[in-house]
Amino acid sequence: MENLMFVYCSCKVIWTLLITILGYASSLPVGDDSICTAEELAKYSIIFTGKWSQTAFPKQYPLYRPPAQWSSMLGVTHSSDYSMWKKNEYASNGVRDFAEKGEAWVLMKEIEEAGEKIQSVHGIFSAPAISSGTGQTSTELEVHSRHPLVSFVVRIVPSPDWFVGIDSLNLCEGDHWMEEVSVDLFPYDAGTDSGFTFSSPNFATIPQDTVTEITCSSPSHPANSFYYPKLKILPPIAQVTMVKIKKNQLGLPVPYLNLPAKSNEIIDSVSETPLDCEVSQWSSWGLCRGVCRKTGTKIRTRFVLLQPANNGMPCPNLDEETGCEPENCV
């Protein structure tokens, strides 16, 4: 009987201890930002670098009306209670408008409403557009120990609904802020427009799809502007760098010298994507031409769909000739 009582008491103690631990754990805040014990505020310079060059992305590269370029950047510093966009989830109306048309009004309203409702937003930041596929733009942002996450979007122009961005990057590492972080960026499809190419007409996706990453093989369609089946991965189409702004002894921010804009030559030397020639199917054979009772010739043709680039496979012969017997001879 004494042994049974001992077992009972032991189980009761263990159970009580387990409940206490679980109760304590459930009272902790949830999210990546819950463990930030760094100083309350930190400021960063954020530099966006476009790497969308014709050498890195030769297929259907937009040269005219409009040429390759980037929209303005729209970003937010926030807690884990807020999400601007997430891969494999549906884009909000604001992200849809921004990705399709570059219109920021609805997205800014969504951010403001989230900040007022659940106090999940610390601040909004923006940077100017870039008028070419390569170049830089920059601005400053402020994070808070309760709002250490950074998210932003930049629209790819022209495109149906394609963008690059970051979702909830945590700049806090325990008791300190990261000094510098760089992230390579790749294209995403907002899932709201069904176009395959940069210049596709507006054609809404019904029902709406989720946000998906565009790769060299997905969507798996030869018409896709980012379809490079011989590559393992796409080269980065952009990069973002965030550098913590230090304070001098007077407590004032130290002036930050922006990174020099990378020239096309530098960017092109880094990523050179070969593009093979693409040709159409053969036409039907033409009429057989020649002298009666002698072997004649007939010809079929094809044309170039896509010119090769960066030492890609050259175009084959566009004409083919074969022997034939002339018809309707007198």
Q: Dihedral sign for Cα 14, 18, 21, 24, please.
A: negative
Residues 284-307: tens digit of each pLDDT:
888 888 888 788 888 888 877 766
pLDDT at site 32: 45
- 184 compared with 13, residue with greater pLDDT: 184
228 touches 271 (CB < 8 A): no
Q: Dihedral sign for Cα 223, 229, 233, 236, please.
A: negative
CB atoms near residue 156 (< 10 Å)? 27
CB atoms near residue 310 (< 10 Å)? 14
Single-letter residue type at 3: N
* pLDDT score of 192 more than 90: yes
Listed by start position, the domains of the chain span 42-247, 276-329
* pLDDT score of 20 more than 80: no
Residues 50-88: tens digit of each pLDDT:
999 999 999 999 998 899 999 999 999 999 999 999 999
Nearest by Cα to 33 from 168, 152, 125:
168
- 247 compared with 23, residue with greater pLDDT: 247
CA–CA separation, 298 and 307 (whole Å): 27
pLDDT at site 230: 86
Q: Which residues pair with 256 in a beta bridge?
A: none
Q: What percent of the chain has pLDDT over 70?
A: 81
169 touches 181 (CB < 8 A): yes
Tokens in use for 141?
């942002």
271 touches 53 (CB < 8 A): yes
As a 3-state breakdown, the chain gives helix, strand, coil percent values, each rounded to 5, of 20, 30, 50
Burial-class residue 290 by CB neighbours within 10 Å (0-12, 13-18, 19+): middle
169 touches 78 (CB < 8 A): no
The secondary structure of residue 215, as a DSSP letter, is -
Q: How many CA atoms lie within 13 A of 109 on its CB side?
A: 8
- Mean of per-residue pLDDT scores for the chain: 82
Contacts of 125 (CB under 8 A, 6+ apart): 46, 73, 75, 76, 77, 139, 140, 141, 152
- Looking at the domain 276-329, which fold is it? TSP-1 type 1 repeat (2.20.100)
Nearest by Cα to 161 from 215, 231, 209:
209
Alpha helices in the chain (DSSP H): 2-27, 93-101, 105-118, 264-270
State phi, psi for 117 to the nearest 5 degrees. Answer: -80, -50
pLDDT at site 273: 74
Cα of first residue to Cα of last residue in the chain, in angstroms, is 123
152 touches 70 (CB < 8 A): no
Q: Rg of the chain over CA atoms, in angstroms?
A: 29
Burial-class residue 88 by CB neighbours within 10 Å (0-12, 13-18, 19+): exposed
* pLDDT score of 112 more than 70: yes
pLDDT at site 21: 40
* pLDDT score of 258 more than 80: no
pLDDT at site 330: 53
The secondary structure of residue 33, as a DSSP letter, is G
Candidates 3.30.70.360, 2.40.40.20, 2.30.40.10, 2.60.40.2130; correct CATH number of 42-247? 2.60.40.2130
